[in-house]
Structure 1
Amino acid sequence: MTDDVKAQKFNTVFRWFDQNGDGLLTHDDLHAMAERFAALAREDDTANATAMRDAFETWWQLLLTHGDSDGDGRISPQEFITVMKAEVTDPQHFEQAVLAIVDALMRALDTNQDGTLSQEEYVRMYDALGIPPTHSEAAFRLLDSDGDGSLSHSEFRTAITEFYLSTDPKAPGNQLLGPIDEPT
């Protein structure tokens, strides 16, 4: 069951990243995703926008180097799941490829520098990233572990880490992109 949970979550990420919906990931798909994330930063916030783009490029290079088994420059769903389990979620890569996006995103969205995201900010962010508000509103309530009505940087990082690393089907972070058994 635990392996199935990760496969379900990685399938959800694959569908989310597959920007043109052709069933394969390419550099163009990851670039488009990076631009969606970078667009959340203020126009003058080039440092965080660049950090997000760089992290997505790192992610793409991991996919290509370790997952493109047939060398065609495209990543199939099965190649994606395999490389996610073996490389992207490996501690030596996870920080650079995934958590670097989270950290830059949090810095970009936390314009008042209080170290938190309100539910409204959180829902607006995920809506801009293509996740329906009904999913992100429900996720927010689960992820706000201290119940203070906001997500701290630590709570957000924990949620992302749970999503990518946890094998517990009931981990709150699993709900980041909506129910893992539903298409995004």
Structure 2
Amino acid sequence: MREEAINRVKLVFTLFDADGNGVLESDDFELMSSRVAAAVPGADESRKQAMRAGFTRYWNTLVSELDTDHDGRITYDEYQACVLSPERFSGAIDAFASGFAHFGDVDGSGMVSRPVFVGMLRGVGFDLPNIHALFEAFEPDAEDRLRVDLWETEIRNFYAPDMGGIPADLLAPAAAA
């Protein structure tokens, strides 16, 4: 497993722990999807539902795969074991990546504008400089937009344990030595 993948997973766990109590719970995913929905007021209801469904499937996969004591809570160790195992989590990641990326295509053009991209990722909790660095790595077009399909693929790459040196690493830079 690549160090970059571990860095990405650590960051995402921290962000998804929306209430900061050290474990993931269904309320964290509801709060996160609400923050993202609020960050893109121009998105239509069907896109909001698809994005929320991606968050819900993500949570449902975690809890069904990992919550052996049925307490509705997932620790970091449990989380890492699942999300970095494609055979256990790829379906949830596919649904999440599709719903999240397409949520940003508010006009149905197949493109996501920088303000929408920034709003969505700020809604998740990523740092602004990292968001802009990622957006630039996608080489936006003259209208400052990126292709949804590229972003969707990169979301999948973000969770791939064997991927490193990818644009998504910009969201979770390695700690200074």
Q: In structure 1, which of residues 123, 135, 138 is the aligned counterpart of residue 118 of structure 2?
A: 123
The 3-state SS of whatever aligns with 1:23 is coil
More deviation in 14-23 or 61-70?
A: 61-70
Check conservation: 1:123, 1:136, Cα contact below 8 A: yes
Where structure 2 has 5 or more consecutive residues not aligned to the other structure, the ranges are: none
Pairwise CA RMSD? 2.6
Shift of 1:89: 6.4
Q: Separation in 1 of the partners of 2:131 and 2:43?
A: 27
Check conservation: 1:15, 1:21, Cα contact below 8 A: yes
The 3-state SS of whatever aligns with 2:157 is helix
Check conservation: 2:25, 2:73, Cα contact below 8 A: yes
Counterpart for residue 168 of structure 2: 173
Counterpart for residue 154 of structure 2: 159
Counterpart for residue 106 of structure 1: 104
- How many residues in Structure 1 have an aligned counterpart in Structure 2? 175
More deviation in 124-133 or 85-94?
A: 85-94
Deviation per CA, 1:51-78, whole angstroms, max 9, x where unpaired?
1222211111111110113322100000
Counterpart for residue 44 of structure 2: 45
Shift of 1:155: 1.7
Q: Following superposition of structure 1 onto structure 2, how do residues 1-184 of structure 1 map, counting pairs within 5 Å? A: 2-42=1-41, 45-86=44-85, 90-96=89-95, 98-107=96-105, 110-111=106-107, 113-144=108-139, 149-165=144-160, 167-175=162-170, 177-181=171-175
Over 3 Å counting, the alpha-carbon distance change for 1:99 and 1:168 in structure 2 is: closer
The 3-state SS of whatever aligns with 1:159 is helix
Instruction: Kindly report structure 1 stretches of 4+ aligned residues shifted beyond 6 Å.
Output: none
Where structure 1 has 5 or more consecutive residues not aligned to the other structure, the ranges are: none
Q: Separation in 1 of the partners of 2:42 and 2:133?
A: 30
RCO greater where, 1 or 2, for CA within 8 Å and sep 6 or more?
2
Q: Separation in 2 of the partners of 1:20 and 1:95?
A: 25
Q: Separation in 2 of the partners of 1:142 and 1:44?
A: 24
What is the identity percentage for the equivalent residue pairs of Structure 1 and Structure 2?
24
Q: Calculate the TM-score normalised by the size of structure 1.
A: 0.80
